[in-house]
Amino acid sequence: MRFKVIIIGIIFWTISIAGYSQSIQLLETDSSVNFLVNDIQVLVYQKSKTAVPFGVDPTFSKSGFIHPLATASGQVLTRIQPEDHYHHYGIWGPWTKTKIQEREVDFWNLGDGKGRVYFDQVVRKSLDEKSAEITVRQNHFDLTAGESPSLAIVENLRIRVEVLDEDRYQVDYISEFTNQLDSSILFESYRYGGGIAFRARKEWGPENSRILTSEGNDRGNSDGAKARWVLIDGVTGSSQGSSGLLILSHPENFDHPEPLRVWPEDSNKGIENVFLNFTPTRFKSWEILAGKTYRLQYRLIVFDGDMKVIEAEEYWKAFSLQKYR
């Protein structure tokens, strides 16, 4: 059964999932789109620019990102606007070192004032017996082109949440982006850039969290290595004592298995320093041709408790066979 209620501009859909005592809901407000499982908010896509902390340059305000991302028990895994990097925003696509008509454009490091990414519109929403889904449009503006911003890239970002069991759910994060210009855009090779980035909860550091990749690398040797998947988990207040996130890279992605940018243990003075980025352009530049559309596909498994390597492998195998229209 499905119903729709409109109350003061808020759209609220809910549906029960057969086979589980679970319910999934989709709630849109003027500022966000919220996914709920059993009335617990598990994922929020931010439509409005988020205010910066008092005294911080408002240039660092941003829209178009996921935060909070939480487990089914409500353990928040993401963080935004940390004092060490005000331009970190939960889960987002950080295109960094970009060249447009010989100009250096940066869509991530907001303080440089060279580029911006803004939420534009919700293209579609859907809810069925298994999942809730949105597609949102995000516009990438070149701020170096002249007196007014130039629209360089239009991105359609698909976010789909599906409940797996009482402790786990998955998120499909699929980015399709189109060059709006008459000339090519070059994503230059660099240690940061593109793909998907994750800044973890403030409480996590080397002493109470771990990072493990499909190739057996850990926090000490995963930076610059390639991986099909990366697992991040740590101590939380869940009943199991821990929670985490598995990020899967699809084999059709550029330069798959994808290179990683992972902060080492001594980053940020060794505290509050869990950050990683699937960086498809770390070793190879990527030319984005005029008028052409490209795709990057990721899946996130969000969980309470522990995840074994064999489980991560099974999740990746299933995802690798997934074909998207």
The per-residue pLDDT for range 190-227, each reduced to its tens digit, is 999 999 999 999 999 999 999 999 999 999 999 999 99
Residue 177 banded pLDDT, cuts 50, 70, 90 = very high
d(CA 66, CA 58) in angstroms, rounded, equals 19
Half-sphere exposure of 119 (CA within 13 A, CB side): 23
Could you give the number of structural domains in the chain? 1
Per the domain annotation, does 17 fall within a domain? Answer: no
Per the domain annotation, does 191 fall within a domain? Answer: yes
Q: For the whole prediction, is pTM greater than 0.85?
A: yes
Per the domain annotation, does 270 fall within a domain? Answer: yes
Per the domain annotation, does 71 fall within a domain? Answer: no
Per the domain annotation, does 89 fall within a domain? Answer: yes
pLDDT tens track for 245-279: 999 999 999 999 999 999 999 999 999 999 999 99
d(CA 164, CA 302) in angstroms, rounded, equals 10
Residue 130 banded pLDDT, cuts 50, 70, 90 = confident
Q: In what order do the strands lie in the sheet with 185-187?
A: 103-105, 98-100, 185-187, 286-288
Sign of the torsion angle spanned by Cα atoms 155, 296, 60, 79: positive
pLDDT tens track for 225-247: 999 999 999 999 999 999 999 99
Query: Which residue range is the domain that position 94 belongs to?
Result: 82-320
pLDDT reported for residue 324: 75
Per the domain annotation, does 86 fall within a domain? Answer: yes
Cβ(42)–Cβ(169) below 8 Å: yes
Q: Which residues pair with 96 in a beta bridge?
A: none
Per the domain annotation, does 127 fall within a domain? Answer: yes
Q: Is the pLDDT of residue 4 over 50?
A: no
Per the domain annotation, does 47 fall within a domain? Answer: no
